Structure 1
Amino acid sequence: MFIKSRFLALATSYNKGVANCFNKASVGLRWSSTQDNSTSSLPNTEQTAPKSAEEATAQSTKPDAPTKYYKIKLARSLIGLPPKTRKNAASLGLKKRGQIVFRPVTTTIAGSIFRIKELVELEITDNTYLESRSPAPGYTIVKRFQ
């Protein structure tokens, strides 16, 4: 009985301290500790949330940095491979052998490519080249029907 009540007392005091820290952190996304800031071993970092969607977009995109893309080509067939491998290829948009897809360079995409590295050919490009890869339609419009 004594051990249970002591445990509950410790858990309650700990939870109050954690809740206080989270309440302070949720207002303005600020790190807070129970110690004084001058004696704290962790830095007091302040990050304020963007006030509008335009500010969030401006912070997340950097106009001076060119966007890079992975050019992923499925070189080997998915026949006979485990379902997990097939789903991973499908998540990248690869269905048929020889199919080419372009994906932005991110850690998530890199991890997916790493799981099927034996099946794909990979290049890093500056743009997607989709316009130059699409064939001509094969017809011309002479006159519109009215």
Structure 2
Amino acid sequence: MQRRLFTTSAPTANYFKVTLKRSTIGLSDDFRAATLTLGLVRLHQTTYQPVNPSTAGLILKLKELVKVEHVASIPTPEDIKAAKPPRGYKVVGRM
């Protein structure tokens, strides 16, 4: 009886959506270099990185600082704009 610990099928997600949630202030230079390598400069900034072992290693190093999601493709600016709610407010009625 053999057990398989890992699946050999290809992942469905092609990109990591990486968002910086915690600051690198007070951390060593190698953590700061890892965030810059991922393209993260500001808090709550999001970048899309390809799924590969080197990117996964950087994310694992910064696991307490970043939020990671798997996505199939990078959204276009039109997709991002369509997902946002309309700005402002509208008066519905009077009291």
TM superposition score normalised by structure 1: 0.45
Q: Mapping of 1:30-109 within 5 angstroms?
A: 68-109=14-55
Distance 1:110 1:118 in 2: 14
Q: 2:80 aligns with which of 106, 129, 133?
A: 133
1:130–1:83: structure 2 CA closer, same or farther, 3 Å change rule? farther
Larger radius of gyration: 1
TM superposition score normalised by structure 2: 0.68
Percent identity over the alignment? 32
Whether the 8 Å contact between 1:67 and 1:104 is mirrored in structure 2 is: no
Query: RMSD between aligned alpha carbons?
Result: 1.9
Higher relative helix content: 1
Higher relative strand content: 2
Gap runs ≥5 in structure 1? 1-64, 136-146
Which residue matches 2:88? Answer: none
Gap runs ≥5 in structure 2? 1-10, 83-95
Distance 1:72 1:100 in 2: 6
Whether the 8 Å contact between 2:13 and 2:70 is mirrored in structure 1 is: no
The one of the two structures with greater contact order (alpha-carbon pairs below 8 A, sep at least 6) is 2
* Alignment size in residue pairs: 71
Distance 1:97 1:80 in 2: 15
Please identify runs of 4+ aligned residues in structure 1 that moved more than 6 A.
none
